[in-house]
Amino acid sequence: MLKKSRAFIIRDDKNKFSDLEDVIKVARALGQEAFRTHEHVNVKRIWPDNDYDYVVVVEGPEQERTNRLDVRRGKKVKNVLTKGED
């Protein structure tokens, strides 16, 4: 199993965060968007920062490691010649 991690910078420009719980909610939402999943995303670490309000590391859900490529097949296109074309 393989887990991926991402780091995010979260700013509170409008002073809407009342406590760290709000920062965790935003970090989880960003993590779900980044990992393209609706599963639980773990917030591993939060650093308060002077330049950026918070630096957050999130870890995505476990993914199976495969060497297979997922390829989508489109509609089959039939090449038909009309009269007079070669």
CA distances from 17 to 13, 54, 68 (A): 9, 11, 43
37 phi, psi to nearest 5 deg: -145, 160
pLDDT at position 54, please? 92
**Residue 82 has what pLDDT?**
55
pLDDT for 4 equals 86
- The residues spanned by each domain of the chain are 5-59
pTM across the whole model: 0.66
Tell me the pLDDT of the chain (86 aa) as tens digits: 667 889 999 998 888 888 889 999 999 999 999 988 888 899 999 998 888 889 999 998 876 655 555 555 555 555 555 555 55
